[in-house]
Structure 1
Amino acid sequence: MKTTIKDFALSDTAAVIRKRMSVRNYEARPISEEDYEAIARYAADPSRLTGPFGGITRLDLVKVTGAVSEKGIKLGTYGMIKNPQAYLVGVIPKDNKTALLDFGYAFEKLVLFLTDRGIGTCWMGGTFNRNSFGREINLADHETIPCITPIGYPQGKEGLLRSAMRTLVKADNKKGWSELFCDGAFGRPLEEKAAGVFALPVEMVRLGPSASNKQPWRLVLSEDRKAVHLYLAHTPNYSEVMQLTDMGIAMSHFELGCGAAGVEGSWVQRDPQLALPDARTEYIASWVVKA
């Protein structure tokens, strides 16, 4: 019997995060009733869709046949996805930065849950037709769809277009620790041997998915190792919505890594007022170790 993401042991957490990848090419066979039931149970549990700051993501499951929903609406993804069996659509209130953090956090845990069941996913924030998806799920005026994911069983080999997409966004290239993580202050690169119990959580953040693989997260470990501060290094002229969602993903991975490493704590927004490297770096949140 599969464990839930909340129950992963150390090796399981790391293995699932390492296993997850964007899947754009799916088998034509339908998703099993057992898997649909598991998704339905997941979506019916508000605690699973609640972020660290209390925002709850609304989750809609839309089954499709040949990219057409049961309502007869063609759901466009601009040729990026082949043989999707359904879509999971995340919905949150408009113009709410904290809701985007909560969304990224909750939706990534869903993605990892699906990965553990052998179901493929692909974070999509810009390459889908929001109007058609909005009609399909009866999107209200005060709501927005930050991202969706197609779901299905991975085909294995990617097509030429989908392989080109991975190359374009450098999906297989991740920045190193020295570029992303700092020890006590910005400008002091964190060495893995100095991270102590945070080595696994920090590495799990490094491996996380991000829009166009920009990896905009930055972590600063406090000198006393009682807190880890998360910052967003904004990419110029790039979507703030997507990059705030990326921050939620980073929070999810870090927390899961802490759970696996036995490091108790919680997320708070309490700016430590560190000297920032530039005007594009924004404080997001801090993981504070339980006393």
Structure 2
Amino acid sequence: MLSAIENRASRRKFENEPITDWEKENIISIINHLNEVSGLAMEFMEDGSVAFGKLSKSYGLFTSVRSLVLMKGNKDDKDLDEKIGYYGEELVLHITNLGLGTCWVGGTFDKDVLTIDKSEKSPCVVVVGKVAALSLKEKMIHSVTHRKVKSMEERIISDSPLPQWVQNGMKAVLLAPSAKNTQKAMFKYENNTLSVQIANDYSMDMIDLGIAKKHFEIGAKGKFEFGNGGIFYLE
């Protein structure tokens, strides 16, 4: 998964060619597994292009969006948004390993055209598709939205030198996507205990927290508790 973390990039321009049946079957298989272990209800849509049909809602200038994953689950699950980020990013990394492009999308698509059950909540989608080399437009967008990647020192508070496993986890965190590139999840290493929390004053914050936890786990090899301020346990 470390190679997928290094290779993943948010893509907004897709090829007109649809994904293959083999790719679709792999994605659905991964989704079914992650839904089973998480209690989520993520759903693959081979053609969800209607949600990106209105230019006014297509922040980031999305082009040729077709397939997507509807990120959803029971709205009564107190950890729903965090789980969507955590398990959704695992899905994204698996899709990256298939050679496909992805992008997390929050409020910049037409939610009204995507049907979900009344018992469910769907705060975002992940668009999926075949991609070519980064276009000039994508490079320009990337330069604007990623003007500054925060350093490790800006993302973690510590009362002692960071052991190698913490450094490994943080290196993976620095490559994690976040809404508007805010990189808000803050880690703390004190009394030999590692935890992470986020301000949670924006709709995508808990999703970003789940994504950051997943990246740290892959880099450091261990497991986080769910919840804002959750503690990490080494394997």
TM-score class normalised by the smaller sequence: 0.7 to 0.9
C-alpha distance 144-208 of structure 1, shift in aligned 2 (>3 A): same
Q: What is the CA distance between 1:159 and its match in structure 2?
A: 5.5
Equivalent residue runs for 1:1-40 within 5 Å? 13-40=1-28
1:217 pairs with 2:185? yes
Query: In the alignment, is the contact (CA less than 8 A) between 1:208 and 1:253 conserved in 2?
Result: yes
C-alpha distance 42-107 of structure 1, shift in aligned 2 (>3 A): same
In 1, Cα distance between equivalents of 2:135 and 2:113: 26
Equivalent residue runs for 1:59-78 within 5 Å? 59-64=42-47, 67-68=49-50, 76=54, 78=57
Q: What is the CA distance between 1:62 and its match in structure 2?
A: 1.4
Query: In the alignment, is the contact (CA less than 8 A) between 1:108 and 1:249 conserved in 2?
Result: yes
C-alpha distance 198-82 of structure 1, shift in aligned 2 (>3 A): same
TM score, norm. by length of structure 1: 0.72
Q: Which residue number in structure 2 is paired with residue 178 of structure 1?
A: 153
1:56 pairs with 2:39? yes
In 2, Cα distance between equivalents of 1:30 and 1:174: 33
Q: Which residue number in structure 2 is paired with residue 277 of structure 1?
A: none
Q: Which residue number in structure 1 is paired with residue 224 of structure 2?
A: 267
Q: What is the CA distance between 1:26 and its match in structure 2?
A: 1.0
Q: Which residue number in structure 1 is paired with residue 230 of structure 2?
A: 285
Query: In the alignment, is the contact (CA less than 8 A) between 2:223 and 2:232 conserved in 1?
Result: yes
In 1, Cα distance between equivalents of 2:63 and 2:98: 20
Query: In the alignment, is the contact (CA less than 8 A) between 1:97 and 1:244 conserved in 2?
Result: no
Q: What is the CA distance between 1:269 and its match in structure 2?
A: 5.9
Aligned length: 232
In 1, Cα distance between equivalents of 2:165 and 2:52: 48
C-alpha distance 64-269 of structure 1, shift in aligned 2 (>3 A): closer
Query: In the alignment, is the contact (CA less than 8 A) between 1:267 and 1:288 conserved in 2?
Result: yes
In 1, Cα distance between equivalents of 2:131 and 2:95: 12
The higher radius of gyration belongs to 1
CA deviations over 1:223-242 (Å, ceiling 9, x no partner) = 33xx31111135xxx52x30
C-alpha distance 31-208 of structure 1, shift in aligned 2 (>3 A): same
* Alignment gaps of 5+ in structure 1: 1-12, 185-189, 260-264, 271-282
Q: Which residue number in structure 2 is paired with residue 152 of structure 1?
A: 129
Q: What is the CA distance between 1:168 and its match in structure 2?
A: 3.7
RCO higher in structure (CA 8 A, sep ≥6)? 2
In 2, Cα distance between equivalents of 1:88 and 1:44: 12
Query: In the alignment, is the contact (CA less than 8 A) between 1:56 and 1:102 conserved in 2?
Result: no
RMSD: 2.5
1:112 pairs with 2:88? no
Secondary structure of the corresponding residue to residue 15 of structure 1: helix
1:243 pairs with 2:205? yes
Query: In the alignment, is the contact (CA less than 8 A) between 1:76 and 1:132 conserved in 2?
Result: no
Query: In the alignment, is the contact (CA less than 8 A) between 2:156 and 2:186 conserved in 1?
Result: yes
Query: In the alignment, is the contact (CA less than 8 A) between 1:94 and 1:143 conserved in 2?
Result: yes
TM score, norm. by length of structure 2: 0.87
* Alignment gaps of 5+ in structure 2: none
CA deviations over 1:111-169 (Å, ceiling 9, x no partner) = 000011111000001111111123xxxx1223221111111111323353x44543442
In 1, Cα distance between equivalents of 2:102 and 2:16: 15
Query: In the alignment, is the contact (CA less than 8 A) between 1:121 and 1:150 conserved in 2?
Result: yes
Equivalent residue runs for 1:72-91 within 5 Å? 76=54, 78-79=57-58, 80-91=61-72
In 2, Cα distance between equivalents of 1:229 and 1:97: 19
The AA in structure 2 aligned to 1:59 is: M
CA deviations over 1:58-98 (Å, ceiling 9, x no partner) = 12111228x34xxxx87557343212231111112336541
Query: In the alignment, is the contact (CA less than 8 A) between 2:82 and 2:226 conserved in 1?
Result: no
Query: In the alignment, is the contact (CA less than 8 A) between 2:52 and 2:109 conserved in 1?
Result: no
The AA in structure 2 aligned to 1:156 is: A
Of 31, 48, 58, the match for 1:43: 31
Equivalent residue runs for 1:178-197 within 5 Å? 178-184=153-159, 194-197=162-165
The AA in structure 1 aligned to 2:210 is: G
Q: Which residue number in structure 1 is paired with residue 176 of structure 2?
A: 208
CA deviations over 1:27-78 (Å, ceiling 9, x no partner) = 1112111111111211221xx2367xxx42212111228x34xxxx875573
